[in-house]
């Protein structure tokens, strides 16, 4: 479903993605972890071309993402993206935030979009909040709205870029619960996170990155209990003790 072939990317001199080869199949849940600056966010931002790559190929659903293709818009519609800092539109209500893309990109009627949006809002457990503005919500609620916004386009893939890192500890659970529910519905997901509990519970595969390279992949149990490389072992011990 998603395929990286020899992908390279530089920020100036910094080699942020170093010869990445990766296949993600339909329905798979992939957790990406690694120290900060390891290129993990860049990796998933490349999937919907928030970042351009300089070398290699990225194929999503048999279309080439790295090429200047005209149906990039349609492609992005098929991929939901959730940011670390939520990035809800502060001048719109929760409902308007969710409806914006379905109405303007998919061109479905407002009535239809509202129905879908309310359903998605229900799914993230915020039924009563449709009229609220982002500033009136807690961080956890805002992030759940952001997930609903991504889901409203009925995407086949959901990408999460450290969805819980900006949250207070007591709010992390509610967001992870929503994500676990998504997994049980069979969504294909790529999640950049350090939440080990989440990874162990639902991930099919854990991918460890450092200095722009994929250092290690494995099932969550393999990875967390018996990492193959020293770098991974060191990283795991750090996130365990903090």
Partner 1 sequence: MLDDFNFRVIMEYLPQFLIGLRSTFLISIVSIALALATGIIACACRISGIKIIKYPAIAYIEIIRSTPLLVQIYFLYFGLPTLGLRIPEIQTGIIALMLNSGAYIAEIIRAGINSVDEGQLEAGISSGLNYVQRMRFIILPQALGVTIPPLLGQNIVLVKDSALLSLISVMELTRCGQTMTSERFMPAEAFFTVAFFYMCIYFCLKAMADWSQRKLIFREAY
Q: Which residues bind partner 1 (CB under 8 A)?
A: 48, 50, 73-77, 79-81, 83, 85-91, 100-101, 104-105, 134-135, 137, 139, 142, 149-150, 153, 166
Least distance (Å) from partner 1 to the CB of residue 156?
A: 13
* C-alpha to C-alpha distance for 151 and 156, rounded to whole angstroms: 9
Minimum CB separation of residue 197 from partner 1 in Å reads 24
Helix (H, G, I), strand (E, B) or coil at 192: strand
Whole-angstrom Cα distance, residue 86 to residue 136?
A: 14
Neighbour count for residue 237 (Cβ, 10 Å):
11
DSSP H or E stretch at residue 234: helix 230-241
- Which residue's CB is nearer to partner 1, number 160 or number 208? 160
CB of 86 or CB of 223, closer to partner 1: 86
> Does residue 10 contact residue 16 with C-beta atoms inside 8 Å?
yes
- Name the minimum Å distance from CB 139 to partner 1: 7
Which residues have C-beta within 8 Å of that of residue 156, sequence separation ≥ 6?
A: 1, 26, 61, 78, 79, 187, 188
Smaller CB distance to partner 1: residue 161 or 195?
161
Min CB(106)–partner 1 separation in Å? 8
Q: Which is nearer to partner 1, 90 or 240 (CB)?
A: 90
3-state secondary structure of 36: coil
Kindly state the smallest distance separating residue 78's Cβ from partner 1, in Å: 9
Nearest residue (CB) to partner 1, 172 versus 215: 172
For the chain, helix (H) and strand (E) counts, in that order, are 9, 10
CB of 210 to partner 1, least distance (A): 25
H/E segment holding residue 104: helix 94-104
**140 or 227: whose CB is closer to partner 1?**
140
């Amino acid at each position: 479903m998603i395929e990286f072939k020899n992908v390279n990317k530089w920020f100036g001199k910094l080699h942020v993605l170093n010869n990445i080869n990766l296949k993600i199949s339909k329905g798979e849940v992939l957790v990406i972890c690694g120290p900060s600056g390891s290129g993990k966010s860049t990796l998933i931002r490349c999937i919907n071309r928030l970042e351009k790559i300089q070398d290699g190929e990225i194929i999503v659903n048999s279309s080439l993402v790295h090429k200047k293709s005209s149906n990039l818009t349609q492609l992005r519609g098929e991929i939901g993206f959730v940011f670390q800092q939520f990035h809800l539109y502060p001048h719109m209500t929760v409902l308007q935030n969710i409806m914006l893309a379905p109405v303007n990109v998919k061109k479905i009627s407002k009535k239809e979009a509202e129905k879908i949006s309310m359903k998605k809002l229900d799914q993230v457990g915020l039924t009563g909040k449709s009229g609220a503005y982002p500033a009136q919500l807690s961080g956890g609620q805002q992030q759940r709205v952001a997930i609903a916004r991504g889901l409203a386009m009925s995407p086949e893939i959901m990408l999460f870029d450290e969805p819980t890192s900006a949250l207070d500890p007591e709010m992390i659970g509610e967001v992870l619960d929503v994500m676990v529910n998504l997994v049980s519905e069979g969504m294909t997901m790529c999640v950049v996170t350090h939440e080990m509990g989440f990874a162990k519970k639902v991930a099919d595969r854990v991918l460890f990155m450092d200095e722009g390279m994929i250092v290690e992949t494995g099932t969550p149990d393999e990875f967390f209990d018996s990492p193959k490389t020293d770098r991974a072992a060191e990283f795991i011990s750090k996130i365990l003790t903090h």
